[in-house]
Structure 1
Amino acid sequence: MMRPLLMCFILCVVYGSSKPTEQKTRVLHQEPLSHVEHDDNKNYDYDHEAFLGQDEAKTFEHLPPEESKRRLGIIVDKIDSNKDGFISEEELKVWIKSAQKKHIYDSVEHQWKDFDMNGDGRISWDEYKNVTYGSYLDDPQTDTEYNYTHMMLRDERRFKAADTDGDLIADKQEFTAFLHPEDHEHMKDIVVQETVEDIDKNGDGFIDLKEYIGDMYTAEGDDEEPEWVATERQQFSEFRDKNHDGKMDKEETLDWILPSDYDHAEAEAQHLLHESDTNKDGKLTKKEILDKYDVFVGSQVTDFGEALLRHDEF
């Protein structure tokens, strides 16, 4: 039987493998656009990975300049979503965000065929339930390690939250929101609800200090508490519990696990616009981008001819 896709697994992958004294976290920060240092005086490697995604950026590094520019031109046409012949800062930002989430889309594609049992291009709740919980539904076990009934009800609630048109059938976008709710604005409430349910041991709908610390650290024997535990107690009192009532409500929990991070995609879009906007009109033409192609994409100086790495979309 396929393991249920639990939010506690998505948010807390480190929980199962961390040592008792290691700090664990549920906070979901934005992933960096690139792990390369952003220094345009040396190279544009950071911009290439931010604009294309890491894997595609590596592909472009093996292309000669003309092929690199040709493929960039195809990308520019895709970025111009309103087809007005210009690339706005917003269109750049949307593209960059999409490039950075390619691994999520690839993950959804990989799982899609496992759940779309009738091959109609959509996944119903019944299809997902039967694939994920089929063995349990056929032979319910009450003495197992997991409470599968609870898991199934929790998954159904999340599936319904992701199912924006309410037909209990998910298209790709809805199924992506189901699998990765932390990346979708309309799913934030369900992320918070599941987090509170995971941590709230006394069932009052809040997270108090004892529950907050207990979720991150469990004392073993007479071991002395790590220093970071005391720091977390202070963090809870001074920053997490904003109204100082001794517990975190849903709004405070949201601020904790899904903080409003610096928007790296927006900053990168502004940077690319600044670097390429020759006439300073606040938008880019295809020519302006291709003239500055080395800012957006990499390339090889030599021509590899037939050895070029080609993708079907190009």
Structure 2
Amino acid sequence: MVNSSGDEFQELKVADTFAHKGANKEEPTTFKMTAVCPPEMRKELRIAFDSVDDDRSGSISADELYKLFNNFRVDIDEDETEELLQNLDMDGNGEIDFDEFVEIMMSAMEDEDEMIEASFKEFDVDNDGFIQVNELRYVLQYLGENGISERDMKKMIKNADYDGDGKVDLEDFRRLWKEH
């Protein structure tokens, strides 16, 4: 996908970002933070991915992974590389596609707080230290998700608002991230 400035970016799937259970009062609408990756970080990961994907197939093969390790002088043989690839290959197709690469890199990040703060900043559009309904709406629209009602967005905020102040601050966001 290409934005208005011509930059390519990978669209986040809202289904991976939010668990949306609809208007049923008995089923709360909640955030699910397992696959949030800030767009800037995704852009950097795309560059890294593309540098390894030598044949531009859209996925990283065992040979390309082996070559990457050799370039960084990692002592690994081809069999170990194949075994590693099998462990990292989430869909079992024998290669690592970009979404799998992002998942691997996100889970490999050593500083989880940095990742949480970067993700929070993506939602805190006006940089006031809080995520409010209008910012959630903006992010959802940016992601192309226009079918979530105002009422459900308010429920999302309410369910993520652990301190009850009507807004999601960094501590609420951090707690939410760690619980999901």
Tell me which interval the TM-score lies in, with the shorter structure as reference length. 0.3 to 0.5
Rg: which structure is higher? Answer: 1
Structure with more helix by fraction? 1
TM-score (norm. length: structure 1): 0.26
Say which structure, 1 or 2, has more relative contact order (CA 8 Å, 6+ apart): 1
TM-score (norm. length: structure 2): 0.41
Structure with more strand by fraction? 2
